[in-house]
Structure 1
Amino acid sequence: MERNERMSGTLYGLGIGPGDPELITLKALRILQAADVVAYPAPEAGDSLARRIVAPHLKGGQTEIAIRMPLTVARFPAQAVYEQAAEDLAAHLAAGRSIAVLCEGDPFLYGSFMYLFGRLAEDFPVEVVPGVSSLTACAAALKHPLVSRNDVLTVIPAPLDDETIGAKLLHTDAAAIIKLGRHGPRIVALLKELGLAGNAHYIERATMPEQRILPLAEVDPASIPYFAMILVHRRGEQHFMEFQS
């Protein structure tokens, strides 16, 4: 398909933040309310978290497209789902309609929007609006700085194997372990084995009404949800004390 920016609508990838509706940026809010079509990821059954985040800001009267997909690790990303969604969105764009695609956190930080971006960016005008990421939201909620001075921060997806995670933890100043869920028990055990459990801070569902912050020792590993994060700093409380002197 040849790009025709004069006739085509624009595809917007909107970062809408980690959960608190007030953490959407002014730019994302403006585009959200002006778009002809609002699309968002959703589970195969049930409500969309992304739509729930922006619900207070929706003006009504817009076409809504729920991109329903399996959220199990074994079936994600669901390529067929994204192929079909890209075709559906392309039809609206070709007709001159603007589309706001909602993405929790930031679109280009493990965001599902990138799978649509890869399929549509060559044929239609696209604008990506960054959002407040879960990394910064968790640090703010925990009241614990991520990094300072020349610290190196490593983002570690929990599905990686123990050897890889252990090596990354031992060769960085600070780490954010994400995508916990069913990997929670293994990650908690690994942190204890490496002697880093005392330097770890646990939070789940940051900025949402269900937010919980617990000492790692009090966390039930078997109940850790996907939307949970563990922040670790090798200097532990010494890192925090540096800001008090």
Structure 2
Amino acid sequence: MSAVRVRLCGEEFIATERQPLLIGREADISVDDNRYLHRRFLQVACVEGLWVLRNVGAQLTATVSDLQGLFQAWLAPGAQVPLLSTHTIVYFTAGPTTYEIDILLDEPPFTVTPVISDPDSSDGGPVTMGGMSLTTKQKLVLLALTERALRRGDRGATSIPSSKVAAQRLRWTLVAFNRQLDNICQKLAAFGVRGLHGDSENLAANRRARLAEYALAARLVTRADLALLEGVEADGEELA
């Protein structure tokens, strides 16, 4: 059975049928010296001939996606998902930092033929993504939260801005930003996306991180969309 390669920040690690890999703060793959990160969080292992990704942590979750964004899974503590694609991307957040890991499978059990869709969002109208319509303002919210991740060249660690910083990036008021944030979270929750509710500041921070993870995993925004951020102007009346 072929091995699985796990890539983090340019380094590559190998998991074999007899030697699974643990990912965490103090594990086979030491992600970061981040006190919010579990010492042992994720595991890549072979179970009855099938490669799986397990969440062996107690609190943190991860978002799992294929390279095309056609598949997304929310990996809660104690859960596991099979690794079915040639290229799987894993996003997870610990404290203020979001991480991105690549898992490469040379001989996947299934292959997927991607359906390419490149909607034109330049006219300011709604954009349909996977059956869900996003307005330009909603896409701007996603871009403000994921801009650092989209702009960096190497996959690895990044940070999710606070609502205040994201609002300033868009030249919106904080109230206007939170209104659009609430709208898109409610819309995604109605589509079955989990982890997007938060009332306290801690839960709200988790909600922003989860929204950013899902937007990146589902390709709701890409590097090509960053052009929307260029020359963003305040809309005083509507976004006051």
Task: Verify same fold: TM over 0.5.
Answer: no
- Greater strand fraction, Structure 1 or Structure 2: 2
- Greater helix fraction, Structure 1 or Structure 2: 1
Give TM-score, length-normalised by structure 2: 0.30
Give TM-score, length-normalised by structure 1: 0.30
